Chain A
C-alpha cells in the first residue's frame, strides 16, 4: 500500500499559503513544535499558530459555521495544544493529523453545545463555499490538496466531508441515508481508498 506523505498547502495565520510537510512519525516541524510546547515554550506555540492557525480556523469555521464561534473554538484548540501536547504520540498519527483531530473534536463539541442551547445552525455548510474562493482561484495551484478533492467523485467528497465535519455516528448516517451501517462503513472505506489513490497520483 502506498504511504501518503501529505505536503499540504494550507492558509497560515497571515493568510499566506504554507507547506505542511508531515508524515506519520515525529519528524515534521509541527511535531518538533509540539515537543517544544510540551516543554512550556510559548514561542513554539506562536510559531505553531503561524503554521497551522489557518487550517485550524478553517476546520472550526466549517464545523461551527459562525466566525465568532470559530474563533472561540480556535482559541480553545490552541489552549488544548498548550496543555496537552505531551499526549501527542507520533506512532499513532502525524502531528498535523493530531492537531486537526483535536480541533475537530473541539469544534464538534462547540457545535453540539450550541445546538443544545437552541441556536439554529443556519449558516452551517455555507461557509465552505464562501471561504473556499472561486474554482479559478483554487485551480491556480494544481498541487493543492483542494485540487485533489475537486477531482474526487462528488459522492466521495460529500461522504468524507459529512463524516468529518458533521460528526454523526455511523448509526445516524445509516438512518439519514437509509442504508445499512455496513454500507456506510464500506462506502467510507472505498472513498478513502480513492482519496489515497488520488493523493498518490498527485505526488511526484
Chain B
C-alpha cells in the first residue's frame, strides 16, 4: 500500500535532488531546508545522494593549502580535556597514559615561545644554562571556556650544566613525567645551521628527568634547544627554546 508518509513521492525526490547543492552549502531558506530535511528522513535514496553531495562539497576546503597548525593548538585541546577529566569525565583504557601526555604537552607546548635561556658560570669549569618560562598562556578568551583563568608561568623549567673543560653536560628538566609506553623524549641542539641529536631522556627520579652526555660541539654556542615527545602515533615538539642573547 502506498503511504506518502512512508514512501516519498517521486516529485519530492526530484525537488530534493535539485536542492541538494544549496542544502549542503546552507543557502536554502530555513522553511525549504526543513522540508528537504523531512524528506531526507524518509527517503534513503535521497539521503544517499545528500551524503555524496556533502562529500563532494568537502572538496572545496580540501583544495586549500596552508601552513600546518602549530602543536600548541593540539596542546590546548589536550590540556582542556585533562582539566575536564578532573571533574569526573569517564576514564577509559588509554586515558591514564594519554593524560600524562596531556599534562606534559599542556605545560611545555604552551611555554614554547616564551622559554628564555640564560647561562652563568657557577664555577670556573661549569657553565649553567637556565631554562625559564615566564608567560601568560595563550588560552583563548573567545570561546566558551573564556571563564577559565589565564595560566601564568614564572618558574624554572630546567637547566643544562656544561663542564667547559671536558664538554660533559647534564640536562635536568623539572616536572617531566615518564613518557607513555612506546614513547620517548628526544633532545636536539642547533649549532649554526646544524641540528644535532643530543640523545633521549631516559632517567627519572622524583619528577626530575636527567640526561647526560659528552658533546663534540661547543654547547655554549648552541642557538636552540628542542625537546620532542616521540610516540608511535605522533611527534610533538614540546620545548623550543631560542635565545638571541645567549
Enumerate chain A interface residues (CB-CB to B < 8 A): 1, 3-4, 6, 8, 10-15, 20, 22-24, 39-43, 45-47, 49-50, 53-59, 61-62, 69-72, 74-76, 78-79, 82, 91-94, 96-97, 100-101, 103-104, 110, 113, 127-128, 131-133, 138, 145-146, 148-149, 160-161, 163-165, 167-171, 173, 181, 184-185, 188-189, 191-192, 195-196, 199
Contact = CB atoms under 8 A, between A and B. Distances in A.
Given A53-B68, A54-B66, A94-B58, A75 B81 contact: no
A169 B27 contact: yes
Contact of A92 (B50, B74, B93): B50
A91 B77 CA distance: 28
A68 B27 CA distance: 28
Nearest to A147: B63
B63 A39 contact: no
Given A93-B54, A97-B55, A168-B27, A131 B62 contact: no
B53 interface: yes
B1 interface: no
Given A76-B143, A110-B142, A45 B77 contact: yes
B56 interface: yes
A101 B58 contact: yes
Interface of B: 18-22, 25-29, 47-74, 76-78, 80-81, 89-95, 98-99, 101-102, 140, 142-143, 233-235
B68 A92 contact: no
Given A62-B64, A78-B77, A189-B18, 4 more contacts: A43-B94, A46-B233, A55-B61, A82-B81
B124 to A, nearest CB: 44
13 contacts: A4-B55, A14-B235, A40-B89, A47-B233, A53-B68, A58-B64, A79-B77, A93-B51, A93-B55, A145-B63, A169-B26, A173-B27, A185-B28
A111 to B, nearest CB: 11
Contact of B19 (A70, A110, A185): A185
A128 B204 CA distance: 46
B65 A42 contact: no
A72 B29 contact: no
Contacts of B21: 185, 188-189, 191-192
B59 A145 contact: yes
Contact of A196 (B56, B72, B80): B56
Contact of A6 (B19, B55, B71, B98): B55
Contact of B61 (A39, A40, A43, A103): A103
A57 B142 CA distance: 17
